[in-house]
A and B are shown apart, each in its own frame.
Chain A
Amino acid sequence: MSEITLQGLEKQYGETTAVEDVSVEINDGELLCLLGPSGSGKSTTLRMIAGLETPTEGAIRIGGEDVTEQPAYDRHTSTVFQDWALFPHKSVLENVAFGLKMRGVSEDERHERAETMLERVQMGSYDDEDPTNLSGGQKQRVALARSLAVNPDVLLLDEPLSNLDKRLREDMQIELREIHEDVEETFVHVTHDQDEAFTLADRIGIMDGGQLIQVGDPDEIYENPKNRFIEGFLGDTNFVEGTVESANPDLVTVESELDDTLTIPAGEDHEVAEGTPLELSLRPEILSIDRLASDAEGTASEADEEHEPMLADGSVLNTVTGTVDTVLYRGSTVRYSVSVGDSSVFVERTDTTEESLSVGDEIRIEWNGSDVLAFHTDGTRVGI
């Protein structure tokens, strides 16, 4: 059993607090991604699990054993470092065999096991190579083999893919996922790349400012972010400011900077009062767009807007109109920046074969009010 428990973990460097009160249970065999911007304390947390930093406060248990005071070399953890930290004076094979050498495994046996590991990461023919001659991707594989060779209870990965180019990084993510399923060990993976976290993780822990803000399944975190920071960090979104105009038990209307009153269906015990300033998140994937028809039909559609229709399933259709400002081709998607009232929102179309919109086109943007997430001005989520 090698589940990890972090309890009230704290790390201070002089006056600065790098990690503050981090508590989490990491399950045996799980792949947990610590996701956060640089300086959020995720690497420091990882280094404390590895034993490379001593926590100022709190406790670390691995497999039930308190290892808080244990030095790195006594822990059954193994780290893949961001710059891989291969030993430049040792061959690839000796690098991978190093951990086994430290454990007193005989030369023949450790070389044999190192070779097996190198084959596992498709580096079988590089035994005698000098690690300084390898490419980034190859170094990354050797570093992974070196860490796995000691058969650790816990594998710690400190942004090992961040120095690789995009294509290689995506390949390695898949491979890492396969290796994780293969070796059935607990992995803790630190990254600042949300795509990487979503590709790899069983669960994601979001860190910001030294704190672990939310831990959960990837879809849970994406669908139900705890605060505005997470909502903004996990993907591009439109934040729209507004003030609550009316707060009925089943419906909240918001006077927004989009020159329109937006409507959000609400649960009975929602905590919103009239006059509360809010920020609404309109993700591009909930917005559907349509070119406004010619003048005659245009009048008709504007008439539609007068009453936000409540649909049968309790959702509410919101509609605004705007003018396309810029068109940005991003390969598989096209992104349009649309000015709506005094503000602007961006929308995306994934189907690039659809009739394309061009600058100056009048369009209608629609979304289901229940897909909108609302946040207080201090960033906390509004329960609606």
Chain B
Amino acid sequence: MAETNTDTGLVGSVGTALPTRSDLAELSSSRKALLLMAPLLAFEALIFVVPFFILLRISVTEGSSDHVYEPGTWSLESYAVVFNSGLLHDIILYSFLLGAIVTVLSVLIGLFYAYAIWRSSGIVKSLLLLSVVMPLLTTLVIRTYAFNPLLSPTGTFNDVLLSAGLLSEPIQFVPATAGAVAGQLYIVLPYAVLAIYSVLATMDWGIVEAARDLGASRPRSFVEVVLPQVIPGIIVAAVISFAWSVGAYAAPDLLSNGITFAVHAEDLMIGDMRYSLAAALSVVMLVLMLVSVTAITLVLNRFGGDFDLA
């Protein structure tokens, strides 16, 4: 095999660099796939992988008083700070708390909203889908910042509650965690809805009818038939919401006093010029995120089969 191919191999390597049509046809399908993915892989390598290794390298340098970090040095002191600082622990905890709240809300609301789109038809369906996509047409910062006038003590939301007599005193939604949750939820919800809806759209309503016909009540048929099948969509929605919200920057920065790790990492770099500590914090967060996203996926996947309530 190797011998017979020697000639063509030589010609190929010496000859033109661009593959001809017949060369392409001879490629195995996995090689073809690789070729098609090449632009994306190059992009990912340049924008993510290489910078990540630079980040990793910076995280193990010594801090410096006159530079942002001391190039060429090796030190684990930044990791020691991350592991021992109570302030950083609080920040990490707050980030995960925000992420968890937003994720639960976005999956729950997303699930019901997607179900509503699935069950509607005609103009209602189009309107529901359109209103998911519409917010994405506005810049993230503007639509996040818009929560300030809405949620502030003198804002629209409080005005309505006050004039309706539901409140006696305005509530301070912003700057507060509630505001950050609202802002971040508004950012991730469209993605959660679309992730879940894309799975629901492939499902046959007939099996829900079959379940009801066999004696399953409405909620029971949802739990027994719809939920187990929509798990893949829920996983995608949860992972997107969680990863994005734990690393949230804009919403907590604009709407909350609580500091998330992303906000703090920026402070460390721009304010304190402590690049190696910011890098070490980021690496620790990345590892924690990977662990929790894996855990979410594994736990949710267990429900992908048969729910057993009986």
Interface on A for B, CB 8 Å cutoff? 50-52, 71-73, 77-79, 81, 83, 85-90, 94, 98-99, 101-104, 107, 146-147, 150
Chain B residues 206-230 with CB under 8 Å of chain A are: 206-207, 209-217, 220-221, 224-225, 228-229
Roughly how many angstroms separate A51 CA and B210 CA in the complex, as a whole number? 11
Q: Knowing A79-B210, A81-B206, A85-B207 touch, does A99 contact B225 (C-beta < 8 A)?
A: no
Choice from A85, A89, A104 contacting B210 with Cβ under 8 Å: A85
B179-187, B189-197, B302-310: which one contacts chain A? B302-310
Contact residues in A for B217 (Cβ distance below 8 Å): 73
Note all chain A residues with C-beta closer than 8 A to B228.
89
Chain B, Cβ-Cβ closest to A72: B212
B204 interface hit (Cβ, 8 Å): yes
Residue numbers in B under 8 Å from A86 (CB-CB) = 207, 210
Q: Please, which residues of chain A bring their CB within 8 A of the CB of B306?
A: 89-90, 94
Q: Are B215 and A150 in contact (CB under 8 A)?
A: yes
* A/B interface sample: 21 pairs, CB < 8 A: A51-B212, A52-B212, A72-B213, A73-B212, A73-B215, A73-B216, A81-B209, A81-B210, A85-B204, A87-B207, A87-B210, A89-B229, A89-B304, A90-B306, A98-B214, A98-B224, A102-B211, A102-B215, A103-B215, A107-B310, A147-B214
Tell me, rounded to whole Å, the shortest Cβ–Cβ distance linking A149 to chain B. Answer: 9
Chain A residues with CB under 8 Å of B214's CB are 73, 78, 98-99, 102, 146-147, 150
Whole-angstrom distance between the Cβ of B36 and the nearest chain A Cβ: 29
Q: Give the distance in Å from the alpha carbon of A216 to the alpha carbon of B209 in the complex.
A: 31
Contact A102 B216 (CB under 8 A): yes
Complex interface: chain A residues within 8 A of B210 (CB): 79, 81, 85-87
| Nearest chain B residue, comparing its CB with the CB of A103 | B215
Contacts of A87 in B (CB 8 A): 207, 210-211, 225
Q: Output the nearest chain A residue to B221 by Cβ-Cβ distance.
A: A73
CB under 8 Å from chain A, chain B span 225-268: 225, 228-229
Chain A residues with CB below 8 A from B209, complex form: 52, 72, 81, 85
In whole angstroms, how far apart are the Cα atoms of A71 and B225 in the complex?
18
Which residues of the other chain, A, contact B224 by a CB distance below 8 angstroms? 98
Query: Within 8 Å CB of A107, what residues of B?
Result: 310
Given A73-B217, A77-B213, A101-B310, list of 16 further CB < 8 A pairs?
A: A52-B212, A73-B212, A73-B213, A73-B220, A81-B209, A83-B206, A85-B209, A87-B211, A87-B225, A88-B207, A98-B216, A99-B215, A102-B220, A104-B310, A146-B214, A150-B215
CB closest residue in chain B, given A143:
B210
Alpha-carbon separation in the docked complex, A72 to B215 (Å): 7
Cα A52 to Cα B218 with chains together (Å) = 12
Which residues in B have their C-beta under 8 angstroms from that of A85? 204, 206-207, 209-210
What is the CB-to-nearest-CB distance from B120 to chain A, in angstroms, rounded to a whole number?
16
C-alpha gap A257/B25 in the complex (Å) = 67
- Cβ of A81: which chain B residues have Cβ within 8 Å of it? 206, 209-210
A52 with B213: in contact, given A89-B228, A90-B306 (CB under 8 Å)?
yes
Nearest neighbor of B229 in chain A, beta-carbon distance: A89
Residues of chain A within 8 A of B207, CB atoms compared: 85-88
Scoring A73, A81, A107 by chain B CB atoms within 10 A of each residue's CB, the highest score goes to: A73
B213 engages A79 (CB within 8 Å): yes
CA of A73 to CA of B219 in the docked complex: distance in angstroms?
A: 12
Residue ID in chain A nearest B310 by CB atoms: A101
Most buried by B among A71, A98, A146: A98
| Residue of B211, B212, B225 contacting most chain A CB atoms (<10 Å) | B212
Residues of A within 8 A of B216 (CB): 73, 98, 102
Least distance between B125 CB and chain A CB atoms (Å): 17
Check if A78 sits within 8 Å of B206, measured CB to CB: no
Complex CA distance for A88 and B229, rounded to whole angstroms: 8
Nearest-neighbour CB distance to chain B for A342, whole angstroms, equals 51
CA distance A107 to B217 in the complex (A): 19
Complex CA–CA separation, A88 to B230 (angstroms): 12
Q: In the complex, what's the smallest C-beta–C-beta distance from B207 to chain A, in angstroms?
A: 5
Question: What distance in Å separates the Cβ of A239 from its nearest Cβ neighbour in chain B?
Answer: 39
Residue of A nearest to B208 (CB): A85
Of chain A, the residue at the smallest CB distance from B220 is A102
CA–CA, A81 and B209, complex, Å: 10
A147 to chain B: which residues have CB within 8 Å? 214
Q: Shortest Cβ distance from A190 into chain B, in angstroms?
A: 15
How far is it, in angstroms, between the C-alpha of A103 and the C-alpha of B220 when the chains are bound?
12
B204, B211, B213, B306 interface centre (most CB from chain A within 10 Å): B213
Give A193 to B99 CA distance when docked, in angstroms.
58
Query: Please, which residues of chain B bring their CB within 8 A of the CB of A89?
Result: 228-229, 304-306
A13 to B207 alpha-carbon distance, docked (Å): 22
> Whose C-beta in chain A lies nearest to the C-beta of B206?
A85
Chain A nearest CB: distance from B227 CB in Å?
Answer: 10
A71–B209 Cα distance when bound, in Å, is 11
Please name the residue on chain B nearest to A79 by beta carbon. Answer: B213
Tell me, rounded to whole Å, the shortest Cβ–Cβ distance linking A102 to chain B: 4
- A71 pairs with B215, CB closer than 8 A: no
Cα–Cα, bound, A83→B207 (Å)? 10
A residues less than 8 Å from B229 (CB atoms): 88-89
Min CB distance, B195 to chain A, in Å?
A: 18
Nearest residue, chain B, Cβ from A101: B310
Q: Which residues of B contact A103 (CB under 8 A)?
A: 215
* Closest Cβ–Cβ distance, residue A23 to chain B (whole Å): 24
Most buried by B among A77, A85, A86: A85
The answer to whether A98 and B211 have CB atoms under 8 Å apart is: yes
Q: How far is the CA of A87 from the CA of B307 in the complex (A)?
A: 13
* Distance between Cα atoms of A98 and B306 in the complex (Å): 11
Is the beta-carbon distance between B211 and A78 smaller than 8 angstroms? Answer: no
Q: Give chain A nearest CB distance to B199 CB in angstroms.
A: 12
B250 to chain A, nearest CB (A): 39
Contacts of A101 in B (CB 8 A): 310
B221 → chain A closest CB, angstroms: 8
Smallest CB separation, B310 vs chain A (Å):
6
Residue of B nearest to A99 (CB): B214
- B309: min CB distance to chain A, Å: 9
Beta-carbon nearest neighbor of A146 in chain B: B214
